[in-house]
Amino acid sequence: MTIPVIYTEATLADFMHAELGATATEMGWTAALSYDEAVNSAILEYGVATIALCTNIVKIRAIARYCAWYAVVQAVAADHIYDSAGAVKPSNFHEQALKTLQMAYTDAFKYLSSTAMVITSLRYKEDPYGAA
């Protein structure tokens, strides 16, 4: 396999699709139709106006990976399950997407042009308020 030296919008969408793998299939996403906004976000985060100016391949790949997983997290944000006590919890799919987004964020952080933040929940072993 040849390492890319430049991306087009279509080839960057293909890369994002490959990065998501089975998740893309589960979401029903196709490279041609489902990644337009994620590609736009990646170009904007890179800090340029067009994909042709994204010449640092490592940088654009890290940003694109982050933007793809961010799109997944947004798409499944409303997916919830109910536990045996009837409490609403994020679905396992959403939780896994968040974990993968955090890994992608770690790789992309140094390249992101905007101030970005990942929000996560903290749980204490002995929570005085009873949140397990």
Residue at 23 is within a domain: yes
* pTM for the full predicted model: 0.75
Residue at 38 is within a domain: yes
Residue at 25 is within a domain: yes
Residue at 128 is within a domain: no
Closest CA to 21 of 81, 68, 56, 59: 68
- Measure CA of the first residue to CA of the last residue in the chain; give whole Å: 47
Report residues of the chain scoring pLDDT below 70.
32, 86-90, 113-132
Residue at 120 is within a domain: no
The pLDDT mean for the chain works out to 84
CA of 19: how far to CAs of 61, 88, 98, in Å?
10, 30, 15
pLDDT at res. 75: 87
Token reading at 32: 């041609």
Residue at 1 is within a domain: no
**CB of 67 closer than 8 Å to CB of 56:** no
Residue at 103 is within a domain: yes
Residue at 132 is within a domain: no
What is the residue range of 47's domain? 9-111
The CA distance from 64 to 46, in Å, is 9
**CB of 7 closer than 8 Å to CB of 54:** yes
pLDDT at res. 115: 56
Backbone torsions φ then ψ of 81, nearest 5 degrees: -130, 165
Q: How many domains does the chain have?
A: 1
pLDDT at res. 93: 77
The CA distance from 3 to 10, in Å, is 16
